[in-house]
Copies of this chain bind each other. A is one copy, B any other.
Amino acid sequence: MYLVAGTSKLTCKGREAAAICRPQGSDAVVAHCWYRRKREATPGAERRRSTVKAEVPVTTTDERVLWVDAPSRKYPIIFRNKPSLHDSELFAPHISGNSVLIVTNETVAPLYLHRLREGLSRCPQVDRVEECILPDGEEYKTMDSLRAIIDVCMQKRLDRKSTLFALGGGVIGDLTGFAASVFLRGIPFIQVPTTLLAVVDSAVGGKTGINHPLGKNMIGSFYQPHAVIVDASTLKTLDPRQISAGIAEIIKYGLICDEEFFNWCERNVSKMVSLSPGAIQYAMERSCQCKAAVVAADERESSGYRAILNLGHTFGHAIEAATGYGTWLHGEAVAAGMVMAAEMSRRLGFIDEQVVRRIEAILTEAALPVRPPPSMNVETFLTYMAMDKKVERGVLRLVLLERLGKAIVTANYERQVLVDTIEYFRRLYQEQPENYERRLAHLRPK
């Protein structure tokens, strides 16, 4: 079945690997990282498993594992660099029942469904691999798609031990996780993220959900997967815009809790954009570590700390909603939103202009927009922002930067500063529309 054994062998070659191996401290990052190496089973050899704890990320030729230690469940994020979806040994240890259902969409299915199907079919305990292929798009992250998944679960008589697999980006991950959390009041599910954004953000941490016609992610649950399995080779078929959208979230982690990582991102942004293996692997792991640490500290957003992950998101959600979902990608809207949050933080005296410029520069280098759509005025922003889940008793809490590498969640700001911030961008546009539009990276023809 499944074999992991042997001693750890840390291989760090060349400049990039050296950089990756260097310990880079951060208060917030407390997630542990275990190294695990697979060995061919010699016939009849006893099955063994050993894990070696390493304090810093390391590069290896095969597999790397990071653990998320959330209060409700502890689970691994397993990274593979080579095509691995067909590898039953990767999946078998995480499946308890004899039936599985792969949920994916019409774009991802032709690319990867057959491989995952092959991998799962070969797991000794699995005798049924069912599938549910949804249309592609944020506009299908709805109650109807949830119903479609559950209809398949019922028709195929899945039971409490069955496992759902989410094969795709954040939309498929959020939908599948939600379905898994409510079918029979909760069955196991495994995230197999195939977008950079899903790897570094949506697949980890247990937020699941669907959209309501009046607001995004308004319906959902906190429900951790049983494992997150990353085959990084799947990222190669991604549209460059989608890669940039993922990088926005990677940069976010530097901003909210890891200044050193932000500095590293500044030096390596072009390597990330081109998916250079060492750089993207390191960026994914460090991002997942950041996310895991935040989730471990505040899984259900009860202390409010977890909300720091939403830097740029309140502005971003307003942009996504006002322009019509799908026009701006989530990561793009977050990028512009982070610039707005940074500008507001500057106006409140938390950070200086220089930091705002650095943020704009790195996002621009990642081909991300750094301005809100010129069509949005104060009223539009405030209307959409009022729908935010962080609103309590009519008061909107915002995620702001206290300094580079530290975000805070606060309702303690003058409303006028928020208004001024939004108006500032309007003015920038009015003064120099062409210069402004140049900063809306995704609108530029490729």
Contacts and interface: CB of A to CB of B under 8 A. Distances in A.
A147 interface: yes
A207 B185 contact: yes
Given A98-B393, A159-B393, A221 B143 contact: no
B393 A161 contact: yes
A391 interface: yes
A215 B159 CA distance: 12
A183 B392 contact: no
A154 interface: yes
A207 B386 CA distance: 32
A160 B390 CA distance: 8
Given A147-B143, A185-B207, A159 B392 contact: yes
Contacts of A378: none
Given A143-B147, A212-B150, A183 B393 contact: no
A382 to B, nearest CB: 14
A158 to B, nearest CB: 10
Q: Which residue, of A154, A159, A220, has the highest number of chain B Cβ atoms within 10 A?
A: A159
A321 to B, nearest CB: 13
A53 interface: no
A222 B185 contact: yes
A182 B184 contact: no
Contacts of A300: 185-186
Given A159-B392, A183-B218, 15 more contacts: A97-B392, A97-B393, A98-B394, A150-B212, A154-B218, A159-B393, A160-B389, A160-B391, A161-B393, A181-B221, A182-B221, A183-B219, A185-B209, A185-B220, A186-B222
Contacts of A213: 154
A222 B221 CA distance: 11
A416 interface: no
A219 to B, nearest CB: 5
A147 B214 CA distance: 13
A212 B146 CA distance: 12
A412 interface: no
Contacts of A391: 159-160
A155 interface: yes
Task: With a 10 A CB-CB cut-off, give which of A155, A160, A178, A209 has the most chain B CB atoms.
Answer: A160
Nearest to A393: B98
24 contacts: A97-B392, A150-B219, A151-B212, A154-B214, A154-B218, A155-B214, A157-B386, A159-B389, A159-B391, A159-B392, A159-B394, A160-B389, A160-B391, A161-B393, A178-B182, A181-B221, A182-B220, A183-B218, A184-B218, A184-B389, A185-B209, A185-B300, A185-B389, A186-B222
